Amino acid sequence: MTARPAIPAIAAGPLAARIDRQWDADIVPQLVEYVRIPAKSPHFDPDWAKHGHIEAAIRQAEKWVAAQGVAGLALEIVRIGGRTPVLFFDIPATGGLAGERTVLFYGHLDKQPEMTGWREGLGPWIPVYEDGKLYGRGGADDGYAVFAALSAVMALDGEGVARPRCVGLIETCEESGSYDLPAYLEALAPRMGDVQLVVALDSGAGNYEQLWVTTSLRGLVNGTLEVGVLDEGVHSGDAGGVVPSSFRIARQILDRIDDSRTGVVKPAVFNCAIPADRLDQAKQAAAILGDAMWQRFPWASCCDDQGTASIFAEPATRDPVEIVLNRTWRAALAVTGADGLPPTSSAGNVQLPFTKLKLSLRLPPLVDGPEAGEAFKRTLEADPPYRARVVFACDSAATGWNAPPVAPWLSAALDAASQACFGKPAAYMGEGGTIPFMGMLGVKFPGAQMLVTGVLGPKSNAHGPNEFLHVPYAKQVTVATAMVVASVR
């Protein structure tokens, strides 16, 4: 392979103008229609194939990509029997560049479920565009990715800027742990060639004022804990003090995992040492963001006599460095759902026969997901209090990801792109979420550089109510992505 030439000087203005026009005239209307599609991931819609919403989402993306008229584009929906489909595109290099270097774009089209708490006038499948924000499920996580990828490529081609070969893999199973993806990666990797750069547009941003590069992702164990003590509910006055509460037993068992006072996950198997370079980056990110690290969340509050919010629920810590580390390099347990608990409006004085809790255990990037899943199950089920029936059913276990060292050419390209688009250098920080694809890519293409970035900045609330895509920021990320892609030689 020939030596890498110097990074070309690329004018951001003309690229931005093209991308801005395309987003306003075409991409935002496409995303409005995408938000309307309840394309819930298979874990949340087991009958996804019958319902056809995932099919509708991938067909919409396929139709739009095909209509762009990109020279030499090869496009197909790839299907492996019984699995969720993927969209695959392949665009040849331009400007006399050889096809030996490839940029791989990644995104997904499946969505999280509805979630309650949307403000009046909003909803998961009700697109509302106001103040530069497109509200609704999936626009930012991660429906915009395929549109942004093509927009970046088209802007470069429109300005006559040479670029490498670009391929795309857009899946429909990410929110379920990407369990279908390994089969597709195995089938399609030989067609991708020598991947030099992976661009994953499915991550977060510390603010909307510069390009954010994700350096690590946590792993995840998902599953359901069921604690049973009775075959049917009984009068709490008759049974209270005799029959132990299934909820109390569940609470007691969860204390084996995290301290109910502090939230600290205790077993060593779910923790790892934090690398020195990630600690340094956490300090740098904390210096940029400060109190915004905790102020970004919609804290519940009490109000004083004038109706002004004055007393806020306290974060676990206000130290921005500790916040960065807590959400990126430390384990955290969340209860995300429950069965067996009647609504308060219809709850009688009845001792519950069982309590079922949906659990989400975030893992530090270097902890092995499957091993942690087995340890999680053993810890929860061992020596059940009161000889209760305790069963943990694991839905998925994914290992996190720690980025390889950033090559000098990529570091320079990221800073140049961020300076051109925002007037500030690129910033680096881990993210607390999970993208199983990144670990898979690291194994399949060990020499590839990784650009994991995204638009999920403050208040965007992915997976929750009032999720939004910050369109002005998404445009700038698209421009920055185009500039970085043009730097691959």
How many helices (DSSP H) and strands (DSSP E) are in the chain?
15, 20
Q: What whole-number distance in Å separates Cα of residue 163 and Cα of residue 41? A: 34
Predicted local confidence at residue 6, as pLDDT: 54
Phi, psi of 40 (to 5 degrees): -70, 145
**Which residues lie closer than 8 Å to 7 by C-beta, 6 or more apart?**
409, 412, 413, 416, 487, 489
pLDDT at 302: 59
Burial 77-96 (b: 16+ CB within 10 A, else e): eeeeeebbbbbbbbbebbee
Helix (H) or strand (E) holding 324: helix 320-328
Q: 3-class DSSP state for residue 118?
A: coil
CATH class of the domain defined by 12-217+400-486: alpha beta
Residue 339: alpha-carbon gap to chain centroid: 26
**Domain 219-272+329-398 has what CATH class?**
alpha beta
243 φ/ψ sector (left φ>0, alpha ψ -120 to 50, else beta): beta
Cis amide linkage into residue 339, ω under 30° from 0: no
pLDDT the model gives residue 2:
47
Non-local (6+) Cβ contacts of 50 within 8 A are: none
Are 236 and 353 in contact, with CB atoms under 8 Å apart?
no
Contact 139, 23 (CB under 8 A): no
Helices (H), 85-165: 144-158
Residues in the chain where the model's pLDDT stays below 50: 1-3, 307
Give the per-residue pLDDT at 1: 44
Q: For CATH 3.30.70.360, list the domain ranges present in the chain.
A: 219-272+329-398
Residues of the chain with CATH 3.40.630.10: 12-217+400-486
pLDDT in tens, 242-301: 999 999 999 999 999 999 999 999 999 999 999 999 999 999 999 999 999 998 888 887
> Could you give the count of Cα atoms lying within 13 Å of 267 in the half-sphere of its Cβ?
18
Q: What is the pLDDT of residue 310?
A: 54
**Rounded to whole angstroms, how far apart are CA atoms 77 and 70?**
17
Contacts of 24 (CB under 8 A, 6+ apart): none
Phi, psi (deg, nearest 5) at residue 395: -85, -45
